[in-house]
Amino acid sequence: MSSAPPAGTITMAGKTVSRLGLGTMRLTGPGTWGDPADRGQALSVLRQAVHTHGITHIDAADAYGPHTVEHLIHDALSPYPEELLIATKVGMLRPAPGTWTPHGRPTYLRACVEASLRRLGVERLELCYLHRIDREVPLADQIGTLQALHDEGKIGHIGLSKIVSDDFHRAAREITVAAVQNVLNIHNRYDPVLELCRDHGIPYVPYRPLNAGSAARGGDVSTPLSWLLELGPHIAPIPGTSNPQHLADIVNSVAAEGW
């Protein structure tokens, strides 16, 4: 593992991890569905991220595949290094390729967590996000289920994904929010939740930091990632790729900017 984590470090879910993480959504088939075209390459991306580039924050979801990415992470990285944080997300149905349906009923969330534990081969999900708030189910029921699983020792820390400010305030009255994951990039520059996280000392994890590649004009990834990192030390972007060379380019470009 490299001696200097890319983009410095951040404390997240009780661990000191690299501010630059790896998003794993792209390690699946088209439509975030099924296995990747080259499973060996997907495994290589994960191993190189951790063992070559020093990335210690891997972001996943049971909906990626569905289930594909959690199996890949286990096969590539288990037994896991002590310093590695694997974050995953629950609460999303995948009825078809490219289709995403929030599902936050307590029985489903509990089943999702139990299944993720098995796929990842761990006794506790160190950071588990509610993938999306299901607007058909009371928020208290959704976060209450995750809190109960936390109290049982099956979840270490609870995060929220794709939320607005009101969601944050409502959830924070009931649980300790460990991290927030929202869209933020140079094409989507404003999110008031960013300031809420700063004020509360909570890591803010921008997903789609390169806007599916459109923010990296001419292949330049350093400018959009540096813009994010400069917003504050609580920012921890998770660019994703399925290509080992692209991963190296991302890490090297950030290092070249002095992060």
> What whole-number distance in Å separates Cα of residue 140 and Cα of residue 124?
22
Listed residue (63, 74, 181, 78) closest to 119, CA to CA: 74
Instruction: For residues 87 and 73, give the distance between their C-alpha atoms in angstroms, rounded to a whole number.
Output: 11
Q: Which amino acid is at 59?
A: D
With CA atoms as reference, report the closest residue to 94 among 106, 84, 108: 108
Number of neighbours of residue 176 by Cβ within 10 angstroms? 12
Phi/psi at 126 (5° precision): -65, -35
Enumerate the active-site residues: 64
Per-residue pLDDT of the chain (259 residues; tens, 9 = 90+): 445 788 999 999 999 999 999 999 999 999 999 999 999 999 999 999 999 999 999 999 999 999 999 999 999 999 999 999 999 999 999 999 999 999 999 999 999 999 999 999 999 999 999 999 999 999 999 999 999 999 999 999 999 999 999 999 999 999 999 999 999 999 999 999 999 999 999 999 999 999 876 666 667 888 999 999 999 999 999 999 999 999 999 999 999 888 8
Domains of the chain (ranges plus CATH)? 9-256 (3.20.20.100)
The structure tokens 């208290």 sit at 140
Angle at 184 (CA atoms; ends 178, 190), nearest 5 degrees: 105
